[in-house]
Amino acid sequence: MISLSHLTMRLAGGGHQVTILDDVTLEIPDKQRVAIVGPSGSGKSTLLGLIAGLDRPTSGSITLNGVEISAMRESALARFRRDHIGYIFQSFHLIPTLTALENVLVPLELAGMSTAQARATELLQTVGLGDRLHHYPVQLSGGEQQRVAVARAFSCHPPILLADEPTGNLDSTTGQQVMLLLHSLHRDFGATLVLVTHDRSMASSMERVIALRDGRIESDTLTNSAHRVTESSQ
């Protein structure tokens, strides 16, 4: 479970404090699919980065699967992220000097997985890139690069998957394919999926939509997708 309690984020700007997030409290149960939406500047990406432990809040607490990460030392936090969190960036963040296979291998080798090569190959085959293992990012399309990023994020079986505008740099058709891939992997691996998006149709495919405005939660609703999931499980 993801649990945020009275989370506040302020940054210095123009000689005064700018409030990015203001007293945000929410819980996200295990395996739920959640979209975070809102206008630019509402605090969406900041909230996702805090959940991932990429930034530290000004105040409040962040607890992931029973572990409070907001007070962790950086070395312990890095290990926790490696084992518990997969993160997909809008701009892919692949290492340009490594092939698709090598990019997916990085977290597996850091985790000391003995079957890293086989695992990375299997994941790239799962995302439809079995014939692109040895291509470098510059040789891949935007959609293919994002598929590599998705495979890398899922590589260590993280219980929490976070995605910041995962289709923001893709055309609508390729973006839809990436979203279908995320839903498929979520179903197969059972991770909690939280994504930031400007796309309302993408958000409606999730179980829950949390809307931010001016750093606060404006609304928090279940979607028809959530009702369908509930009905199908009965």
Tokens (6 digits) for 19: 């409030």
- The rounded radius of gyration (Å) of the Cα atoms in the chain is 18
Q: What angle do CA 196, 49, 54 make, to 5 degrees?
A: 155
Low-confidence ranges of the chain (pLDDT < 70): 225-234
Q: How far apart are CA 127 and CA 13, in angstroms?
A: 42
Which residue has 């479970």 as its token pair?
A: 1
pLDDT of residue 226: 54
pTM for the structure as a whole: 0.88
pLDDT of residue 225: 67
Q: How far apart are CA 169 and CA 149, in angstroms?
A: 13
pLDDT of residue 172: 85
Q: In 3-state terms, what secondary structure has residue 124?
A: helix
Q: Are the beta carbons of 4 and 36 closer than 8 angstroms?
A: no
CA dihedral 106, 71, 215, 66 (to 10 degrees): 80
pLDDT of residue 61: 95
Tokens (6 digits) for 221: 């609703």
Q: In what order do the strands lie in the sheet containing 192-196?
A: 85-88, 160-164, 192-196, 33-37, 208-213, 216-222
Tell me, which fold does domain 27-58+69-233 have in CATH? Answer: Rossmann fold (3.40.50)
What does the domain layout of the chain look like in residue ranges? 27-58+69-233
